[in-house]
Amino acid sequence: CSWGGIACDQDTGHVVSLYLPNNCLHGSINSSNSLFRLVHLQFLTLAKNEFTGSIPYSFANLTKLYKLDLSGNHFFEHIPSSFSHLTHLSILYLDSNQLTGQIPASIRNLTQLSDLDLGYNQLTGQIPASIGNLTQLSNLNLGYNQLTGQIPASIGNLTQLSNLDLGSNQLTGQIPVSIGNLTQLITLDLRSNQLTGQIPVSIRNLTRIEWLVVYDNNLTGELDFEYMFLKLKNLNFLALSFNKLSVISKPTINVTLPKFQILDLASCNLYEFPYFLQNQDELIMLDLSENKLHGQIPKSFWNMSKKTLVYLILDANFLTGFDQLPVVLQRSKLYHLNLANNILQGSLPIPPPSIISYNVSNNRLTGEVSPFFCNLTSISFLDLSNNSLGGILPQCLGNISNSLSVLNLQNNNFHGNIPQASVKGCKLKMINLSQNQLQGNIPGSLAGCDRLEFLNLGNNQIHDIFPSWLGTLVVLKVLILGSNKFCGEIPIDIGNLKGLRLLNISNNILTGHIPSSFENLTQLEALDLSQNKLSGEIPQQLSQLTFLSFLNVSHNRLTGSIPHGKQFDTYQNNSCQLFLFEAPTFLTGFEQLPVVLPWSNLLDMNLANNILQGSLPIPQPSIFTYNVSNNELTGQVSPFFRNTCLTFLDLSNNSLGGMLPQCLHVTLLLVTIHFSSNRFYVEFPKDIGNMKALRLHNISNNILTGHIPSSFVNLTQLEALDLSQNKL
């Protein structure tokens, strides 16, 4: 009894308490474990260890247990029904395990329970109605499971409940009216279920409640805010968002609502700022996003909770501006301000110096970025993207890169040079300056941003050689420099970016060969080198990039054959996968040409405008679009060409011959066919009328004979048909 964590009865010497949390205990507990011989045990805590396996039935031997805490382990399988023998149990914590199965109905026998926590498991089935027998319960947590069915009306029997958490399950049906019986309730969490119907008026009886969370359900109906919550004077945390509610707030005199600290009314069909907000002076977080608020933000709104407000979220409304806009928003504690996805006009509002996250993206703001932004020394997230802001970026913006983590200025009208990054220690993880008119070089100071994961400078007017120092940014995952004026060769140092997943340097003036160091980019999923002046052969090493799903090297001066490899076979993703080798490359064929192309996940393939020779490669059945036009292919279309997913097929301007493919009638999704300028002969397939999705059919300049089949009348979607220069 002198050991740590063990307590004994002073009279009998029996072990009555084991307290062993966070002791790195592991393995399974066997039913014959000596633990179960401690029959006088009253308190047992084994929380936050590494126990695995099922919970042994032998716990039923410990019939004097008052508290059992097995939380924070890795127990799995069912809750033993033998727990029903522990009739003295007052506290049972099984949360944060991997328990499955249903809550046993025999739990009704544990009538002395005051605390029951089964949260954060994988329990299924319904909440047993017998839970209503546990009338001594003060705290009940069943949250973060996979429970289904309705909340039993018997929950209303638990009149001693202070805290009830049923959130993050799959519960359906209505919130029972009997919940209004729980007059001692302080917290009620029903978030993230599939509850329907109206919030019952009986909620008004919960006069002690402080915390009410019902967001992310399917609750409906009009909710009179003042009527529902007037009596709940202790309520300070209210979350109604992301239901189908219509919250109504009417101007009232001599009515005092609760002093909210957290108020979440996102997606509540609000058409105007609730009147009661004027009297709220303790708010810490206010979320009115995804409503139908319109017009200007009233001056009175900015006077609300001036000294306390930390989070203000107004995005996705129809707000046009500010009733009265100061140069700087005067709020001493505002850390997070989101005004994105509105129709704000005029100059860019300047947040207070305290700001950490500021988002005004997707508005109609104009003018320049004020130098006052350089005073935001705590800012971590700045998103001004998709506006009409312009001018030269203040060079002092680089000074805040020692606090900034995300900088997004995409799709504006900024020009001039990119500001230098701070020399004090750059913390930037994401930079997006794309779709502007920025000029000059990429500042070399970005080499010090060793946390950078995303860099997008595409669609600007940057004139620079490809910076070799980019190879020092070893955590970079996305690099987009496309549609600029980068020149020179791709440096071999590009191979140092081993975590890179997307590389787009298309539409520049790059010359030289594709470096073999690309073989080091083993995580690469998308590569676009198109529209440059690259020459030489495509390196065989590209075929080793087993995650590659998008490859575009079109419009270069590449020669030789296409490397063979199974890079596309290893990418199990349904996203669009392109394989483009379009002109003016001068590819002559495949290094090793199988009868059927090997890339089973390929959705789109473009080999047009090369000098491919030999027979027509057959794509896999998964292909959606296939373009091999303007090559030197010969022979017939194989009868294996049965692509039921095909929507676009272009074989034009080759030397293909023989009969028209008789198998194409099975490709019922085909929208466009280009067979022009080949040597197809004989007559049309009679089943061509089955291709009812067809909109464009060009088979001109061939040697077709016979009659135009009457089944053409079935092609009711056809918009263009060219049969000219044949012998029909």
Q: What is the pLDDT averaged over residues 421-448?
A: 91
The residue-averaged pLDDT of 573-590 equals: 51
For the purposes of burial, counting CB atoms within 10 Å of the CB of 713, is it exposed (0-12), middle (13-18) or buried (19 or more)? exposed
Question: Mind listing the pLDDT tens digit for each residue in 644-690?
Answer: 678 888 999 999 888 777 666 556 678 888 989 999 887 777 777 88
Task: Give domain status of residue 664, yes or no.
Answer: yes
Under 8 Å CB-to-CB from 3, ≥6 apart: which residues? none
**What does the pLDDT look like over 2-48, one tens digit per residue?**
677 888 888 888 889 999 999 889 999 998 898 899 999 999 999 99
| Range 604-623 average pLDDT | 80
Q: Is residue 224 part of a domain?
A: no
Is residue 468 within 8 A of residue 490, CB to CB? The reply is no
Contact 204, 231 (CB under 8 A): yes
Q: Residue range 374-380: average pLDDT?
A: 91
Q: Is the pLDDT of residue 486 over 50?
A: yes
Query: Looking up tokens 């970016």, which residue turns up?
Result: 497
Q: End of a domain among 414, 438, 463?
A: 463
Say if 252 falls within a structural domain: no
The domain in which residue 384 lies consists of: 338-463
Q: Which of 49-58, 279-288, 319-328, 554-563 has the lowest mean pLDDT?
A: 319-328
pLDDT band at 577 (very low <50, low <70, confident <90, very high): very low
Residue 168 region by backbone torsions, left for phi larger than 0, else alpha for psi between -120 and 50, else beta: left
Rounded CA separation 331/352 (Å): 6
Instruction: Give the lowest-confidence range in 193-207, 338-352, 359-373, 705-719.
Output: 705-719
What is the rounded CA–CA span in Å between residue 658 and residue 642?
Answer: 17
Structure tokens at 139: 């705290």
Q: Which of 445, 463, 481 is the last residue of a domain?
A: 463
pLDDT of residue 158: 98
Phi-psi region of 159 (alpha: psi -120 to 50; beta: other; left: phi over 0): alpha
Q: For the chain, what percentages of helix, strand and coil (3-state, to nearest 5) are there?
A: 15, 25, 60
**Tokens at 499, concatenated:** 């975590």
Q: 576 falls in which pLDDT band (50, 70, 90)? A: very low
* Cβ neighbours of 250 (radius 10 Å): 12
Range scoring the smallest mean pLDDT among 90-104, 170-184, 512-526: 512-526
| Residue-level pLDDT at 303 | 82
17, 43 contact by CB (below 8 A): yes
d(CA 247, CA 699): 61
Average pLDDT on 353-362 reads: 96
| Closest C-alpha among 192, 589, 101, 650 to residue 83 | 101
Tell which wins on pLDDT, 185 or 548.
185
Quick one: pLDDT band at residue 327, thresholds 50, 70, 90? low
The dihedral over CA atoms of 701, 704, 707, 708, expressed in degrees to the nearest 10, equals -50
Report the distance separating Cα 459 and Cα 480, nearest Å. Answer: 9
Q: How many domains does the chain have?
A: 2
Q: What is the per-residue pLDDT across 275-315, written as a single tens digit (0 to 9) for each?
A: 899 889 999 999 999 999 999 998 888 888 988 999 999 99
Secondary structure of residue 285 in the 3-state scheme: strand
pLDDT of residue 503: 95
Classify residue 286: in a domain, yes or no.
no
Average pLDDT over residues 189-217: 98
pLDDT at position 642, please?
A: 64
Residue 712 lies in a domain: yes
597 within domain boundaries: no
Q: 598 pLDDT band (50/70/90 cuts)? A: low
110-146 pLDDT tens trace = 999 999 999 999 999 999 999 999 999 999 999 999 9
| pLDDT number for residue 566 | 55
CA dihedral (444, 448, 451, 457) in degrees, to 10, reads: -10
Owner of token pair 């987009």: 480
Q: Tell me which of 463, 487, 514 is where a domain ends.
A: 463
In a domain, 414, yes or no: yes
Tell me the percentage of the chain whose pLDDT exceeds 70: 92
pLDDT of residue 583: 53
Out of 261-270, 278-287, 370-379, 605-614, which region has the weakest mean confidence (pLDDT)?
A: 605-614
Residue among 436, 447, 401, 408 at smallest CA distance from 422? 401
pLDDT at 538: 85
CATH of the domain at 366: 3.80.10.10
Beta-carbon neighbour count of residue 639 at 10 Å?
Answer: 10
